[in-house]
Structure 1
């Protein structure tokens, strides 16, 4: 009677807030297998394993653009964790902001993120937006570490929506099917289509993995092009003038030229780009200087994001 108890078990446990969401989704995997519903099975599997970068995401996994925060320098005055809205950025910089944040992570990873008070994210477009913003500021002003900030409760809300979708889905099935029987495949597929909003008929793709936290969070295919990356290098080159040590200045220009040559190659090498980015970071750390450090930070973040998204061979 295992088939008969599966639907009843889901109905019994789904309203218990202490019941792990991952456990309920694994039961959905079994229910999908028993009923022949690939839609239910793949939805549960993607929620458990994470969505691939090319997968169509349910609407509840798309967050609106969150607030921005940054560290700023004005003359000798430094300020940290200043909050901005997207409308405070120059129009050209706003063009590089994403309209939404897709969440590809498995539910168990989102549960860990949800326990944190707040998180900071950046991506290639935001790095370039920072560069454009700094171009419009005065000579003794600088914006650094421009990032999105999201509260952990936002991720808790996403998990709550996953649980709500599951409740609605099971409620539909138990309304028309006795608990001792299995629902028809067509009924399960219809419930998934109605409540999840995505019909899953493709094979699961490899998860994007834990890319939601840290410097290169939420990197996507809409990041920097090679030309954009070269503009970031130009911003570093403009800051080299503040370096007084002749040998250090020569080192910086040498690695900048080598990086630019690699980016303009027919097939840029990931290994070469990573090595030269590391060299650029090392020199800037040794030389110091607020303007140079900010420019190098932006270039390093942008190029690292391109590497992480597979932009190079």
Structure 2
């Protein structure tokens, strides 16, 4: 099977509502191997296997959920009583900090979403200890049996659906403009994961050039001033300086990632009405690469000329 068939199959199946999310994620693992994208591999494998405790979760896997207790007071049993976190002993409130994190594999979440229960009780580390301490502070014949959150099946189904939507957005950004019999670059795939999984939607940063009328060229020195755009001599100089700086990067993969980031920045500032939010994301992406690689790229991004150029686009560095 040709390597490009994986992307074609993924592109064809990702909109099929009957296609298994786990199956689509496994195809992403294969695509990550073919393109060399560790970002895509890490995300797809984490969704398939579950997220380790030391891994930052995407925001869609975090939910703020109400708190409940089951308790006893003499012969009276109380079940499913919703409480405020301020009702628990003050010294234990740190156990309730932050939203509830769902680190399970996507298949486990899908099965929970399809379970017969209307809502699902979820405990967190330390809840049993808090219940025991709280009980010790109550009067005779009073007891806190259990502390837990409750999440509805629909909320879990929503998380699963976000993963499916993210897959659609990823494949769209990865495949747009890529010839049918070719694969996207590692840099393109990494950028799509970083934006869609961790940073929101991504704009279309490809440009098809026909004649030289009203278009923006690609490559060194090709940034053109537009009638209503923010492209300027400062921006053209910055792009040229960044490309010169990228030539000093020894590692071929790092150099390819930087050149892709420079292309993305050039595209974002060269349209008639640049989206400041998009330009800002491109600059921050380039800054992260510069911070990890160092050298001339950091100097080019930190220069007074860079500050003036990006200020013209409404972005600070």
Aligned to 1:70, the other structure's residue is in SS state strand
Cα distance, 1:125 vs. partner? 2.1
Partner of 2:46 in structure 1?
A: 46
Task: State TM-score, norm by structure 1.
Answer: 0.57
Cα distance, 1:59 vs. partner? 2.1
* CA–CA separation in structure 2 for the residues paired with 1:30 and 1:77: 57
Task: State TM-score, norm by structure 2.
Answer: 0.56
User: Within 5 A, what are the aligned runs for 1:1-313?
Assistant: 2-64=2-64, 66-116=65-115, 117-197=118-198
Cα distance, 1:27 vs. partner? 1.0
* CA–CA separation in structure 2 for the residues paired with 1:80 and 1:115: 24
Deviations 1:193-216 (A, max 9, x none): 111229xxxxxxxxxxxxxxxxxx
* CA–CA separation in structure 1 for the residues paired with 2:129 and 2:97: 12
Deviations 1:87-109 (A, max 9, x none): 43343342322412222221112
CA RMSD in angstroms, aligned pairs only: 2.2
* CA–CA separation in structure 2 for the residues paired with 1:73 and 1:46: 41
- State how many pairs are aligned: 197
* CA–CA separation in structure 2 for the residues paired with 1:96 and 1:51: 20
- Asked if structure 2 preserves the Cα contact closer than 8 Å seen for 1:52 and 1:104, the reply is yes
**Larger radius of gyration between Structure 1 and Structure 2:** 2
- Asked if structure 2 preserves the Cα contact closer than 8 Å seen for 1:119 and 1:150, the reply is yes
* CA–CA separation in structure 1 for the residues paired with 2:73 and 2:20: 49
Structure 2: which 5+ runs fail to align?
Answer: 200-317
Deviations 1:150-190 (A, max 9, x none): 22222211111111211111111222313332111110111
* CA–CA separation in structure 1 for the residues paired with 2:93 and 2:55: 26
Cα distance, 1:136 vs. partner? 4.5
Aligned to 1:95, the other structure's residue is in SS state helix
